[in-house]
């Protein structure tokens, strides 16, 4: 009921400016890092290739993102390891 009154009086939960700001924040992460989605994808594939030399990873569960906090953009990867490869473990 209170929500209904709020809405009637024009106090919407997500104003369009909030949407605009959030969309801008996300798009600028990519713009500022000047990395296109295609390049990000290539980087991801290369990374998977290199890591796969050493360990078996769960590619389906792999998370790979450019994140921004304040004035910094970070490449954050969460790569679940299934098991180490025996030959590399033996060499070490």
Partner 1 sequence: MGEIIVVTSGKGGVGKTTTSANIGTGLAAAGHKVVLVDTDIGLRNLDVVMGLENRIVYDLVDVTSGNCRLKQALIKDKRFTNLFLLPAAQTKDKSSVSPEQMETLAKELKEEFDFAIIDCPAGIEQGFRNAIAGADRAVVVCTPEVSAVRDADRIIGLLEAAELRNPKLIINRIRPEMVKRGDMMDISDILDILAIELIGVVPEDESIVISTNRGEPAVLDQGSKAGEAYRRITRRIKGEEVALMNLDVPSGLMDKLKKLVGLR
Site for partner 1 in 60-79 (CB under 8 A): 71
Distance CA 52, CA 70 (A): 33
- Binding flag, residue 1, partner 1 (CB under 8 A): no
- Min dist. Cβ of residue 71 to partner 1 (A): 7
Distance CA 91, CA 25 (A): 46
- Min dist. Cβ of residue 2 to partner 1 (A): 10
DSSP H helices, 1-92, are: 2-8, 16-33, 37-52, 86-91
In the complex, the residues that contact partner 1 under the rule CB under 8 A are 5-6, 9-12, 15-18, 20-21, 23-25, 27-28, 31-32, 71
């Amino acid at each position: 009921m209170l929500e209904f009154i709020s809405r009637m009086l024009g106090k919407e939960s997500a104003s369009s400016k909030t949407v605009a700001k959030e969309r801008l924040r996300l798009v600028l992460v990519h713009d500022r890092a000047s990395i296109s989605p295609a390049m990000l994808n290539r980087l991801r594939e290369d990374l998977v290739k290199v890591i796969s030399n050493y360990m078996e990873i769960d590619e389906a569960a792999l998370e790979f993102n450019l994140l921004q906090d304040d004035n910094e953009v970070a490449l954050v990867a969460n790569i679940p390891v299934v098991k180490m490869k025996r030959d590399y473990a033996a060499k070490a």
